[in-house]
Chain A
Amino acid sequence: MSYQKSILMASTNMAAFRSRLPAAARSTRFVPLLCNRFYSNTSPKTIASLFTVRRTAPLTSPFTVSSRRGYVNGKDEELPEGLRYTEEHEWLALEDGNLAVVGITAYASKALGDVVYVELPSVGTSIVAGEPIGAVESVKSASDIYSPVSGEIIEVNEQLDKKPGLVNAEPYRKGWICKILMKDTTELESMMDNKGYETFIASS
């Protein structure tokens, strides 16, 4: 119990905390997973994850999809790195330069409840940022999804037809909704990153 308490106390002082890390970890970028929002209790499992450091290699593009898979603890409860977010709670990850993968965040899927049906857009539709590209229906409520970027929809996640629950279970991995071939990558700059999205959720 005291061990856990000391970790929490240390975490309030980032510098002191980092000095206790092994030398290699001190220099790499470290995303603190200290949001109480995500860790409601201090079980050993969650404490252990505080010490796992994500080493992000120098990137050519601001975000890559490989980091999407490098989760700390398999549960999709904290925000993975390298994604961008909209105010409508959609996330976007970049694959191969121009291909954007879009889905809804864990916050949104939790708010909706058990998803029973996902209305997918048709492959080949060309869309403008902000246009609806389908809807997610949970028990009783149908919620529209909006495209974060402009481009053409080149693939939709057919698995969601049979297993709409993937949106709840793995909103960032298997629960992706569609892939858009982007026309203009500058649209990404106006989207929120992890920190921005966390602040956005906290203030709403």
Chain B
Amino acid sequence: MLSLDTRRELALALTAILKRSNIATAAQSLSSSFHRHFSCSRNWRQKKIFDLQVYVSRSRSPYWNLSYEDYLFKKFPVYTSYSSSSTQVPKKILFLYTNHRSVIIGRNQNPWRETNVEFLRRHNVPLIRRRSGGGTVFHDDGNVNYSVMMPGNMFDRDEHAQLLCTALNPVFNQRGEETSLSVNERHDIVDQNGRKVSGSAYKLQRGKAYHHGTMLLNSRLDLLSNLLHHSVDGGLEVVEGPGVPSIRSAVSNIGISNETFTDAVILAFKREYTAGSENAVKVMYVDEGSMTKEEAPEINKSIEELQSWEWTFGSTPKFVHRFLLQDSTPAVSFTVKEGTILDLESDLPEFTAIKDRIIGTPYRGPEVASIINSKLWKERLIRSI
């Protein structure tokens, strides 16, 4: 039997339905009254109010989007335990962006191990190293990325992933689809078949943290498997060395449009983190053209760094890259640190001859190929390095 309060609220809501012809709003007030009842009586949880800011990017450039995300994080205030006061409203930023086709690797990963560098080059897909940790992901126009920035003492890996699930599951229900999302132990969002639809990464700094992730809506999964098919899987290359490995999972699209996703997520965040009035949150649309004079130099500098070879390939942790012949015998091994060749091991004459010259050169296809004389190896190394 429902309590007196709930019955009163229901009665009010029903009269509202009769009075107004706008069914959607009445339904919303009904559901919100139910929500309030259940959350109050079952597990009372004080709703934490945030100063929520929502940014939606109109740009599709992965360099610009990642740089803007870094900029937002840099400008996010630092909340340390000694500076936080109970009266201060903590800030939370939600940033949603979509990138053109690209492959993004984690900060401490090895691109040769994680991606098929040759395939990337052939299809002109940019490879970008982001600043947060984690594994390798594929971005394209059918994938919307979300980034949530929060104070450091409120860092939680699952909270926002769970919120996304609760935001999206009603959408599938309404459409009659059987898709149902949940969060697994690895903090990934998976569908009812256990296929991954979203991968997350986190970054913790003094007093603040962010959680960002992908959401596969209508992505080209066929390209994904080819691009993230490691160079080493072909059997002709071996990469040894530290670095964060990617964990492979079966993936799936959830099949809603970018706009539907964006709207659902913004609504869910508004409901959860603000007092709920319609104009509690202003959504800001940003792109290259909306940068102010103060923002532009920093963001552009960040874009340049992301595009540089030194950051993308040169900052790979020390590794050994071994090339094999068709019969799986090792042909040559390059030991590379900070983008320069430290050592070369080979039994083949074409490499032992140039060993002294090659040590110290940057580990880039054209440079390495210019030192080697063998035509076959020139071609192979230009493609693979």
- Checking A140, A144, A162 against B205 with a beta-carbon cut-off of 8 angstroms, the contacting residue is A144
Q: Type the 1/0 row for A127-157, where 1 means its CB is closer than 8 Å to any CB of B.
A: 0000000010111111110100000000000
Complex Cα spacing A87 to B153, Å: 12
List A contacts of B133 (CB < 8 A). 117, 135, 137-138, 140-142
Closest CB in chain A relative to B29 CB, distance in Å: 39
> How many B residues, CB 8 Å from partner?
28
Docked CA distance A139–B244 (Å): 8
Taken together as a complex, chains A and B put the C-alpha atoms of A119 and B107 apart, in Å, by 10
| Residue in B82, B135, B245, B318 whose CB lies within 8 Å of A161 | B318
Q: Are A87 and B204 in contact (CB under 8 A)?
A: no
Alpha-carbon distance A137/B58, docked complex (angstroms): 31
Chain A contacts of B134 at CB under 8 A? Answer: 140-142
**In the complex, A99 Cα to B150 Cα: how many Å?**
36
Question: Are A137 and B81 interface neighbours, CB within 8 A?
Answer: no
Does B340 reach chain A (CB closer than 8 Å)? no
Say yes or no for B202: interface residue by CB 8 A criterion.
Answer: yes
> When the two chains form the complex, which single residue of B106, B202, B206, B318 contacts A88, counting CB atoms closer than 8 Å?
B206
| Residue numbers in A under 8 Å from B81 (CB-CB) | 87, 200, 203-204
Selected from A87, A117, A141, A162, the residue in CB contact (under 8 A) with B203 is: A141
Q: Which residues 149-196 in A have Cβ within 8 Å of B in the complex?
A: 161-162, 164
A102 to chain B, nearest CB (A): 15
Minimum CB distance partner of B187 in chain A: A140
Q: CB of A106 within 8 A of chain B?
A: no
Verify if A116 is at the interface (C-beta below 8 Å from B): yes
Distance between Cα atoms of A171 and B245 in the complex (Å)? 22
Q: How far is the CA of A146 from the CA of B108 in the complex (A)?
A: 18
A143-B204, A146-B206 known; A119 and B108 CB under 8 Å? yes
Q: Which residue of B lies closest to A144 (CB)?
A: B205
Which residues of chain A have C-beta atoms less than 8 A from B135's C-beta?
Answer: 140
Contacts of A119 in B (CB 8 A): 107-108
Q: Which chain A residues in 9-68 approach chain B with CB under 8 Å?
A: none
- Number of A residues with CB within 8 Å of any CB on chain B: 21
| Contact in complex: B317, A161 (CB < 8 Å) | yes
B232 contacts A by Cβ under 8 Å:
no
| B202→A117 contact, CB < 8 A | no
Q: Are B206 and A142 in contact (CB under 8 A)?
A: no
In the complex, B173 has a CB within 8 A of chain A: no
List, in ascending order, chain A residues with CB within 8 A of B106's CB: 137, 142
Does B317 contact A87, Cβ atoms closer than 8 Å? no
Please report the C-alpha to C-alpha distance between residue A143 and residue B201 in the assembled complex, in whole angstroms: 11
- B80–A117 contact, CB under 8 A? no
**Contact at A142–B203, with CB atoms within 8 Å?**
yes
Give the distance in Å from the alpha carbon of A161 to the alpha carbon of B243 in the complex: 9
B366 close to A (CB within 8 Å):
no
Contact yes or no, A137 B108, CB < 8 A? yes
Q: Closest CB-CB distance, A197 to chain B, in whole Å? A: 12
Q: Is the beta-carbon distance between A142 and B204 smaller than 8 angstroms?
A: yes
| Chain B residues in 8 Å Cβ range of A141 | 132-134, 157, 201-204
Question: Does B252 interact with chain A (Cβ within 8 Å)?
Answer: no
Docked-complex contact B242 and A117, CB < 8 angstroms: yes
Q: Is B231 an interface residue (CB 8 A)?
A: no
The residues of A that contact B157 with a CB separation of less than 8 Å are: 140-141
List the B side residues contacting A204 at CB < 8 Å. Answer: 81, 153
State A146–B206 Cα separation when bound (angstroms).
8
A193 to chain B, nearest CB (A): 17
Q: Which of B45-84 contact A (CB under 8 A)?
A: 80-82
B121-133 interface mask toward A, CB cutoff 8 Å, 1 = contact, 0 = none?
0000000000111
Which residues of A sit under 8 angstroms from B153, Cβ to Cβ? 204
Contacts A137-B106, A141-B203, A142-B134 known; 18 new A-B pairs at CB < 8 A: A87-B82, A117-B244, A119-B107, A135-B107, A135-B133, A137-B107, A137-B108, A140-B134, A140-B157, A140-B187, A140-B200, A142-B107, A142-B202, A143-B204, A146-B206, A164-B242, A200-B81, A204-B153
Q: Which residues of A does B touch, CB under 8 Å? A: 87-88, 116-117, 119, 135, 137-144, 146, 161-162, 164, 200, 203-204
**What are 11 sample pairs from A and B whose C-beta atoms fall under 8 A apart?**
A116-B244, A140-B135, A141-B201, A141-B203, A142-B132, A143-B203, A143-B204, A161-B242, A164-B242, A200-B81, A204-B81
Would you list the 5 A-B pairs with minimal beta carbon distance, nearest first?
A142-B133, A141-B202, A143-B204, A137-B133, A117-B108
